[in-house]
Amino acid sequence: MATYNLDVTKEHCPMTFVKTKIELNKLQKGDVLNVRVTEGEPLENIPKSAVEQGFTVLSVEPTEVQGIYSIRIEK
Amino acid sequence: MNKRFAIYPTAEKRKKMATDNQAKKLSIIAFSGDFDKLTAVFTLATGAASVGYEVNLFFTFWGLDAIKVKQGRAPVGKGFLPKVFGVMMGGLKASPVSRLNFLGLSPKIFRYLMRKNHVATLEELVEAAKQLGINFYACEMAMHVLGLQKTDFIPEVKDVLGVASFLSLSEGGQTLFI
């Protein structure tokens, strides 16, 4: 059960979703992906689409940086 | 604001969402070989695939330029006229912008601006589309007219189709013509 990190705060649509999805595809059951996202569309939709695709969203927490959040997704 | 409520659906809701997910499908008829319109095609396609859609791209006419193995200007095609077209149209890297092309300068400016502003370039989007397992199809009729064969296209092109096959593939989903 490994933990991976991904930062998509510098990316824009659609690469925020694309990079997250490509990383999610690599996860084995029980693995966790930490994604750092900006507020707005990525924050609203990355957890939603992860759940829709059968992943579990463990948490969505603000980080030490204003406007940036960390999403923990488990396969 | 507590976002937890929105992202922790009940098991029942999650099951329903997973079922609904199966019907999520986007099919795009990529008619244009223009840089900007292809960018729209691949932005929509990769975005949709990333959020769990099944995506079908059906390349026809000028759109076929986007999936050629030779991305520059090359005499691809069988016969004299197709070869002339092949050189004039070129592949993905030679695609013009639909407005204000400035003899091919504009696509270079766009690529520069995209990189500078951390927006994915057309080539990056195509690469992402391949990684996401998006289905690429080529139009049989347009290939015939332009003297192109399946081997002229990138190996990700799954099949060569006609209208009837495309309609059955896209049935039950959303379809766009770009």
pLDDT of residue B129: 97
- Cβ of residue A18 closer than 8 Å to a chain B Cβ: yes
Q: Which residue has the higher pLDDT, B6 or B99?
A: B99
pLDDT of residue A65: 95
Q: Looking at the complex, report in whole angstroms how far the Cα of residue B115 sits from the nearest Cα belonging to chain A.
A: 11
pLDDT of residue B14: 60
ipTM of the complex: 0.89
pLDDT digits (tens, 9 = 90+) for A11-61: 999 999 999 999 999 999 999 999 999 999 999 999 999 999 999 999 999
Query: Domain extents for chain A?
Result: 3-74
Q: Looking at the complex, report in whole angstroms how far the Cα of residue A1 sits from the nearest Cα belonging to chain B.
A: 22
Sketch out chain B's domains with CATH numbers.
24-177 (3.40.1260.10)
**What CATH number does the domain located at A3-74 have?**
3.30.110.40
pLDDT digits (tens, 9 = 90+) for B114-146: 999 999 999 999 999 999 999 999 999 999 999
User: Between the CA of residue B119 and those of A26, B7, B13, what are the distances in Å?
Assistant: 24, 27, 35
Select the residue of A11, A43, A45 nearest B118 (Cβ to Cβ): A11
Name which of B43, B37, B28 is nearest B137 in CA terms.
B28
